[in-house]
Structure 1
Amino acid sequence: AGVHNIVFSSSAAVFGTPAVPLVVEELPKRPTSPYGESKLIGEWLLRDQGVATASSGAPLRHTSLRYFNVVGSADPTVYDTSPHNLFPIVFEKLLAGETPQINGDDYDTPDGTNVRDYVHVGDIAAAHVVAAQRLESGAPIEPAYNLGSQNGLSVKEIMDAMARVTGIPFAPVIGPRRAGDPDRIVATGELAARDLDWQNRYT
């Protein structure tokens, strides 16, 4: 199709369950879910195509942006309705008069619930623009960047905050663990800050 620059939407899931407090790009990739595995394969395909076209007149330039837990809305008309994301799931349950569920409370974290690195969709979008501009201009770019905040919040902490800001008190139902869910995954984002003007403009 004549495409020579690609920004790929990858995921923190490529790392699986890292045994470090802050994830950096060089960490071994050990996905524990089909989703994470598919994202890693996508990164490999781009890498291989880049190698295959390196000596051609139109080499493929690419970078993979590894999202951590994307939340929020940069515009009220484009809001998160995903049936798989924590925030819209909780809001929908509360609006329906139902009780949100936590999937497992026996993880190796301070309160027993998963710790995740939540980043705002507006910040993610801004990083994509800069990545595309770097590719288009021919500027140096890394094969992958972690888009993280360096701060982890547990699912219970998120639930407590939602009860507080909505004014709807609730005690989450504790359900079974989901297969492949790591205890904690938080990234530094330093490489993306250096090259992609990555900032957490939204808390």
Structure 2
Amino acid sequence: MSWLVTGGAGYIGSHVVRAFQQTGIDPVVIDDLSSGHTSFLPHGVPFVRASILDTALVQRTLTEYSCEGVVHVAGFKYAGVSVSRPLHTYNQNVTGTVSVLQAMQDAGVHRYVFSSSASVYGTPDTEVVTEDSPLHPESPYGQSKLIGEWLNADMAPVDEAWQGVNLRYFNVVGSGSDDLYDTSPHNLFPIVFDMLLKGQTPRINGDDYATPDGTCVRDYVHVADLARSHVAAAEAMMNGSKLESAYNLGSGEGSSVLQIMQAIARVTGQDFTADVGPRRPGDPARIVAKGDMAARDIDWQMRNSLDDMVASAWSARRAHQA
């Protein structure tokens, strides 16, 4: 029994791969290594280095390994950068998703877990969002993820066996193992860690938002907890359980960027006061979500505190310090 994980050599995808292994399901990985690393792949996991835009290759991989389903994690995931690179974002996230779905249809594969995003909500008008909150993304990245959800929904009328679910991620941090870490040049934790390791002062992007301390408020979740719910969704599908169309993987609580900086200083022992720069395009002031439905259906739990998330991420980054 195997499942294909697109983007399985990346930070999130590699945790999903290991979560599958822990439950006895064999993962197969497709990744173009634009942001992934072969060192993140466990020994013996079948790996195809390719773009998901190569529909025929994705189809052949699904067929060759008799895949039961697909967890589609691959994509361009940077909301701020997507504002200046909209066409690249849509090509990777929309055209790429169409390619994966076409390959699944050609291979007769009907189970699909889609890596969506909290960015589909834009700037919510409520303190905490639910799956029924209005969807109005504010960046090309967020738009591309919403289109991905539409594509998922549009498969059901043409495939009576279709089982598709959208998992809306919030801010994914931490590490499940010291050999896996976030290498993104755009995410908060790796940016701050790299600056600290270079003896530089981290920076906050904007302190004039309508939040208690003026900095953006986000819902931070541990990557290993997130990965477990991907596998739980896959297992539920194989067991014939009916799932909702979308689930928020959120904590119900938020932390501001300033609070994150303070937690990093506390956990790492690196005393600093962050500089403040201008806002970053595409960043909403606050987005926090309830994960009640995911807890009910796909084993969603916040097993790690904020300090745990910082400590595991710092440990993994230090393990790869040049």
Q: Is the pair's TM-score, using the shorter chain for normalization, greater than 0.5?
A: yes
Greater relative contact order (CA < 8 Å, ≥ 6 in sequence): 1
CA deviations on 1:14-72 (whole Å, 9 max, x unpaired) are: 00000101110011110001111111100000100112223xxxx22110100010000
Partner of 1:148: 250
Q: Distance in 1 between matches of 2:174 and 2:157?
A: 37
Deviation at 1:154, TM superposition (A): 0.3
What is the one-letter code of the residue matched to 1:198? W
Which piece of structure 1 moves more, 139-148 or 162-171?
162-171
The aligned counterpart of 1:40 is 146
What is the CA-CA distance between 1:85 and the residue it aligns to?
1.3
Looking at structure 2, the residues matched to 25 and 13 of structure 1 have their Cα atoms a distance apart, in angstroms, of 13
Matched with 1:15 is 121
Matches within 5 A, 1:1-203: 1-54=107-160, 59-203=161-305
Q: Distance in 2 between matches of 1:164 and 1:201?
A: 20
Q: Would you tell me which structure has more helix in proportion to its own residues?
A: 2
1:61-92 Cα offsets, whole Å, 9 max, x none, are 11010001000001111111111211111000
Q: State the shift of 1:137 in Å.
A: 1.8
Residue 176 of structure 2: SS of its match in structure 1? coil
Unaligned runs of 5+ in 1: none
Matched residue type, 2:138? T
1:97 Cα offset (Å):
1.1
1:127 Cα deviation (Å)? 0.5
CA distance in 2 between counterparts of 1:130 and 1:164 reads: 34
How many corresponding residue pairs?
199
Structure 1 segments, 4+ long, off by >4 Å, are none
Unmatched tracts of structure 2, length 5 or more: 1-106, 306-322
Q: Percent identity?
A: 61
The SS at the match of 2:192 is helix
CA distance in 2 between partners of 1:105 and 1:96 (Å): 24
Question: Structure 1 residue 112: deviation in Å?
Answer: 0.2
User: Helix, strand or coil for the counterpart of 2:168?
Assistant: strand
The root-mean-square deviation of aligned C-alpha atoms, in Å, is 0.9
Once residues 76 and 194 of structure 1 are traced to their aligned partners in structure 2, the CA distance between those partners, rounded to angstroms, is: 30
Which amino acid in 2 is paired with 1:17?
T
- Bigger mean CA offset, 155-164 vs 166-175: 166-175
Measured in 2, the distance between the counterparts of 1:2 and 1:176 equals 49
